Amino acid sequence: MTKDSLGLGIDTTFDDTSVAILRGHQEILANLTLSQYRDHAEFGGVVPERAARKHLEVIHSLIDEACRKADVKLEELDYIAVSNLPGLLGALLVGVMVAKTLSFSLKIPLIGLNHVEAHPYAGVLSGQPLQYPILHLVVAGGHTLLMHARDHFDYEIVGRSIDDAAGECVDKVAKLFGYPMPGGPVVDRCAVENPGSSYEFPSPRIHEPDFDFSFSGLKTALLRFKEQEPEKATQDESEVLACFFRSLARVLIYKTFRALDTYDLKRLSVSGGLAASKFLKEAFEVEAKKQGIELWYPPPKLCTDNAAMVTCLASYRYAAGLYDDLLMDAHPNLLS
Ligand code: KG4
Ligand code: ZN
């Protein structure tokens, strides 16, 4: 029965409006995302109020378009899914209100989800059902998390960013060098095309015994370098950014594999927008092979925010009968 369930998922956590329709756990019938990057460019960062308004402007037509593309009528849906945490409160509320309205009027279950918990499910969509126990590394724009998962919905956060997330750090450093959001693709290209061996930047907290991350000091190191060595920063920019990204990747890889060892795990998934990096993917593949770890790694287009991964997580909740009611709230922060 669950295999053929038909779900519609909505994600409006930050600055992308995304709607997906999924059959079963992994057949994507529609997965549409409208990015707001240009709408916030003149402000140098995402303006929460503007993000919420932009979601509101496009959400209904995006749902219509998803239904057309999937050739599905709303009445055929089995459940409505929506990310209700974490994110910008106003932005989250747009998705939550639309989802509640659809659930109420169509008389079908409402399923609220943690957007960060959904990132690893991007791998399922590319035909790799998750196996447990597994360690999830999620490297998104707003969060860097290590999650020790024993089963679906049963996980413990064992490491997290205590200041800037890895993606946030990359975006801020790219901005220092004059690049607009998102900074990840340009920094990744530099890392792939350059040796990344000429400059030494810190790898913060790499030897701390816990699994928490801190990347704001690395960002400050790049700021200082730019102030102290303006010529090198300009003339050798690609190599500087390559060295920076290697420092950041070194921390992610070292701590992740140490966590696998500590928790005696043999499976790893890497997901989230920064995982779209070609450099990072290759580095994780090499290390996983060396250490005999089975790796789940979604294709780049499913690493960045999309509603299909949210609907995929929801399809497992639907199968387990884990629904929410109309009192469901939106939460800006992670709950655990
Ligand atoms: O998961 P995501 O789309 O949004 C959040 O949940 O926060 O992650 C956004 C992050 C940004 O830091 C962005 O620069 C990075 O993902 N990113 C990339 C690529 N595309 C987006 N990083 C490296 N390579 C890419 N191709
Ligand atoms: Zn995300």
Which positions ≥6 away from 203 have C-beta within 8 Å?
218, 247, 248, 250, 251, 254
Radius of gyration of the chain, Cα coordinates, nearest whole angstrom? 20
SS3 107: coil
- Containing 79, the helix (H) or strand (E) segment is strand 79-85
Known binding residues for Fe cation? 115, 119, 305
The ranges assigned to domains in the chain are 6-120+303-320, 130-297
Indicate the DSSP class of residue 182. Answer: P
Mutate to test the pocket of ligand 1, among 271, 303, 309 (most ligand atoms within 8 A of CB): 303
From 140, 141, 167, 157, select the one nearest 211 (Cα to Cα).
157
For ligand 1, whether the C-beta of 298 sits within 6 Å is: no
- In the chain, the amino acid numbered 117 is E
pLDDT reported for residue 2: 45
* Residue 333, helix vs strand vs coil: coil
Instruction: Name which residue sits closest to atom 16 of ligand 1, judged by CA.
Output: 273
**What is the dotted CATH code of the domain comprising 130-297?**
3.30.420.40
pLDDT for the residue numbered 336 = 55
Burial code (b: 16+ CB inside 10 Å, e: under 16) for 129-147 equals: ebeeebbbbbbbbbbbbbb
Can you say which residues are annotated as belonging to the binding site? 115, 119, 171, 184, 188, 305
Say whether 130-297 and 6-120+303-320 share the same fold. yes
Around 198, how many Cα atoms within 13 Å sit in the side-chain half-sphere?
12
Q: How far apart are CA 275 and CA 302, in angstroms?
A: 10
For residue 170, give the ligand nearest its CA: 1
Question: Which tens digits make up the pLDDT trace of 126-136?
Answer: 999 999 999 99
Looking from the CA of residue 274, the nearest atom of ligand 1 is 22
CA of 279 to the centre of ligand 2 (A): 19
The residues, ordered by sequence, that sit 6+ positions from 245 with a Cβ below 8 Å of its Cβ are 170, 187, 188, 190, 191, 196, 277, 279
CA distances, 6 to each of 3, 127, 253 (Å) = 9, 18, 37
Fold designation for 6-120+303-320: Nucleotidyltransferase; domain 5 (3.30.420)
Residues of the chain where predicted confidence (pLDDT) is lower than 70: 1-3, 336
pLDDT tens digit string along 58-70? 999 999 999 999 9
Q: Which of 304, 305, 310 to mutate to test the pocket of ligand 1 (most atoms within 8 A of CB)?
A: 304
Pick from 267, 333, 7, 304: which is nearest to 181 by CA?
304
CA-115 nearest atom, ligand 1: 6
